[in-house]
Amino acid sequence: MDDDSMEYPRKYCPGPDWCEDNELYDIGGLHPVVIGDSFRDGQYSVVHKLGYGGFSTVWLARDHRAERYVALKILSAAGSRCVNEIAIQRYIRALGMSFDDLSITKIIDRFSFRGPNGRHTCLVLEVAGPSLNFLDKHSLKLRPDSVRDLAAQVAGVVRKLHTNDIAIGDLSTDNILLKVKNLSSWSEEEIYQRFGEPEASEACPTREGESLSSHAPRYQYDHIHFGWCDLDVLEPNVTVADMNEAVYTGSNPALHSQAESSAANRVYAAPEWWFGVNQKHTKASDIFALACIFFELRTASPLLPAYAMTDGAEVIQLLLGEAPQEWKDLQNDRDEDQQVELLSHEECGSESLDIKLAAVGKWEPWHYMTPEQRKQHFFDTYDEEERNDPDKDINIERDSSTRPPPARLSDEEHHDLKDLLSRMLTYLPEERITIEEVLQHPWLNKRYDDLDDQTAPWICRYDRGFRYYNATEWYRAYVLNVDPDSGDKAENGGIWRLDEENPKFENGTFNWDVFYDSAEDIWYDAVESQEFESDAPEPEEADEEEEDPQESEEVMTDSDEEEFSVTKLLGLPVDSDDE
């Protein structure tokens, strides 16, 4: 047993990967919820789970008074002591801004109650769908013009907040949610038919024979996986969620927070945060994060890789080049453990924006393989010791599910997107363009006719595996062994079949060199012949029916309206108690 486990012994056996850490259920922690629980004198009853975070769980609930579905965000007892999101929304309302024109998840109601782990604040929010990061998790793709439409919507929200001196702070694809069509007419049975019934896992203590404490949940639930459901429940419209990191940036000193901001999601943190120049949320830091979101939506990959969570300064130097000299000089004045590692002149800029954009839509032999074939390749390539080596970061399930690349960038779109992102991704915050300039940029206002097929659905699933890539008749016949007359695929497929009857096996071993050469030949043959079929490997193609956007609206209500004041803005509101 290692030192950490001796110092912090687990009270509960670890739950499934799809639920929050059950160690968070303790005094000051999360509130244990059971499907069917009701709150606020029975007004809200829990129907399903929407998600969770380190400081809250979010539940789909029925509001029996208003006859609608709402999202209950139940904060941890410790996190309930300072809810900045309430103060920010109160400030927005005090300014006279219309929530009908501001796409943020609005607080419809709020209350507090006491549970076994303390007093919890519960925010009643409009129901929204999955965050934009679910696209990658569920192998979903967006039509290129839909990407730009959604990007413009997010930028529109940022503009309205920036105009009123509010910086969002925690701007990421995690906190941008697709809207769902109005669910209020659905019964609970229909909810379960569409989304499936909540999968429950019983919690159990680590010590055998010991009973669960009152602090622990009886069950933990899997949340709704929108990517596994019918996509017609989603709208091509977004709302920005979780304004708890938002800050006032105007000239009124009474409204300024004295606390130093943290990078809630470091993958989207601006250079000045990483270099220790300015660690407060600003409008300029929002612009940098917004550029990361634009890149991620269009390319289906993050601008700054996951290891930016710990080595962000290094990643930013690889992307943007050498840091300003004054930033370099600043490192000499910092404590050794706070100094940023400065890369060599040759390393800086080696993974530039231009290089990243040039790779968008590039097809590799790996993309032609089904997940099963990729898994087989892993087992053939790496022995058990290599597969279990944490330094190699080999995850067969994750890597074998790599989806095809997004739609290629035309020369025109490449030029426009590079120009926009270059203006947003700068070292010096004062050199970044404003949100007004972002919204006026051609990339958000053009239609690229060579890419924007209006007949394709705005969102659809990748059809994983070889069925998706049937570029030419020769390809279909040779690789997939599809009968050109009937269109049926024979049971004994072409080079993709991984069994010893496959002619690509030599002495009982599959010849991967031949496989890769064949895949390359297939691709180049398809490109040269230009005989793409309508459902062939153009990633901008789609398979689902088009949506009819229908916006659902909720009315912002508050049982205890009161006059706006600076004191109330900065403090926790006085809420009602449901004991």
Which DSSP helix (H) or strand (E) runs through 87?
helix 84-94
3-state SS class at 261: coil
Contacts of 376 (CB under 8 A, 6+ apart): 498, 510
Give the single-character DSSP code of 337.
Answer: G
Q: How far apart are CA 266 and CA 469, in angstroms?
A: 36
Task: Catalogue the long-range contacts made by 417-422 (C-beta closer than 8 Å, 24 or more residues apart).
Answer: 417/294, 417/298, 417/357, 417/443, 418/353, 418/354, 418/357, 419/443, 420/291, 420/294, 420/444, 421/291, 421/294, 421/295, 421/353, 422/353
105 and 126 in contact (C-beta within 8 Å)? yes
Q: Please, what is the end-to-end C-alpha distance for the chain in angstroms?
A: 42
91 and 85 in contact (C-beta within 8 Å)? no
In terms of Cα–Cα distance, which of 314, 405, 413, 304 is closest to 353? 304
Q: Is the dihedral of CA 350, 355, 360, 365 positive or negative?
A: negative
366 and 395 in contact (C-beta within 8 Å)? no
Residue 44 β-bridge partners: 39, 63
Q: Return the axis-axis angle of helices 411-424 and 283-299, rounded to nearest 10°.
A: 160
In terms of Cα–Cα distance, which of 245, 106, 129, 105 is closest to 177? 129
Q: How far apart are CA 122 and CA 145, in angstroms?
A: 38
Q: How far apart are CA 441 and CA 270, in angstroms?
A: 21
Question: Binding residue per annotation — 73?
Answer: yes
Q: What are phi and psi of 489, to 5 degrees?
A: -90, 130
Q: How far apart are CA 234 and CA 255, in angstroms?
A: 38
The angle formed by the CA atoms of residues 107, 108 and 114, to the nearest 5 degrees, is: 80
Give the single-character DSSP code of 239.
Answer: E
Q: How far apart are CA 11 and CA 205, in angstroms?
A: 6
Q: Which amino acid is at 272?
A: E
Q: How far apart are CA 27 and CA 77, in angstroms?
A: 8
Binding-site positions read: 73
Binding-site positions for ATP read: 73
